[in-house]
A and B are shown apart, each in its own frame.
Chain A
């Protein structure tokens, strides 16, 4: 799987996002696009995990598995892949091989 070999990071420190978290829901201002995004709990936690430094797919899966307290597996991996794709599409994260 190509996703498994990629690493994710914030696009640019200069456009570091501003954010709020209320009751597990994240609202993030995207300095790169000027848009505001609402992120569900897991997407928000993944976003802030990646914010601490570039992360591999397996590191993100391990983080999500620990966070949700469920075993890492194909269902979780595909869910995370979808979240990462969404975050990349809106310009909050970028990935490289």
Chain B
């Protein structure tokens, strides 16, 4: 790790390589506001020597020289190609997060990847898949605030060879109502500023705890998967899910199951074999945490 100002000047002027779990992510950004916002969230990540190969190199720069100064914009380039439309510079950090997600989903083939948050306790992992708006990031942040280790807020990376979950700890992306809910609940956690006007509304990132970042090479054994949904009118009952049902629904949460072919099937089947499966529509965070703890305790004893 290097000092903050060095880090700051590093990514402002040239490519900086960060280790995020098992991945090496190259970042090059040329706008001070973008580097400031990213630096605030990533100043505690291990830095990798420039000579090391990256899993992918993210370049954030103005789409053209004019846009660096007039109504400043930033665009994500990968291998010289811009996969997304440009965004205002004020949203550059959200573009960085989207860019990493896009790269992992489209470029990483050595893990089976589920769109799911995952947290760990005593070496055992609890996975909660959920579609956008299911409240998984809010619950993930709340659990991390009670001492669970953050493995990932966005995706669960399963090693097909070992069946273990590889951490990929990154800032937790809180949205809209979830922002104040978590900020009030966890006053000592570190948060980014609010990014207004994104396609998902207002975003705010909770910084990944240092302990989770430093343990980014420590995998965990999956024991339970709890598919989530949030509904303030729900009764909050947890239902066990049959393994065959679970298997088929997890395919829908994976971005690379089909491209891994037989290896993906075996990785998914082993995951399903070794975990307990539930679906849970939660009403509020306190109830959710209590039930999640119960489910986890039962599952790891099973």
Contact = CB atoms under 8 A, between A and B. Distances in A.
B273 A20 contact: yes
Interface stretch (A5-13, A31-39, A88-96): A31-39
Interface in B226-278: 242-245, 247-248, 251, 257-258, 261-262, 265-266, 269, 272-273
A31 to B, nearest CB: 6
Given A18-B266, A20-B273, A22-B242, A27 B261 contact: no
Contact of B272 (A18, A20, A26, A34): A20
Contact of A36 (B245, B248, B273): B248
Given A23-B243, A25-B242, A38-B244, A18 B262 contact: yes
Contacts of B266: 18
A29 B258 CA distance: 10
Contact of B248 (A23, A27, A29, A34): A27
Interface of A: 18, 20, 22-23, 25-27, 29, 31, 34, 36, 38
B244 A27 contact: yes
A-B pairs, 3 with minimum CB distance? A25-B244, A22-B243, A29-B265
A20 B244 CA distance: 9
A38 B269 CA distance: 13
A47 to B, nearest CB: 14
Contacts of B257: 36
Interface residues of B, number: 16
Interface in B100-147: none
Contacts of A18: 262, 265-266, 269
A27 B258 contact: no
A23 B245 CA distance: 11
B158 to A, nearest CB: 16
A27 B262 contact: no
A78 to B, nearest CB: 26
A26 B251 CA distance: 15
Given A20-B243, A36-B265, 6 more contacts: A22-B242, A25-B244, A25-B245, A29-B262, A36-B247, A36-B248
Contacts of A23: 242-244
A18 B262 CA distance: 7
Given A34-B258, A34-B261, A27 B269 contact: yes
Contacts of A20: 243-244, 247, 269, 272-273
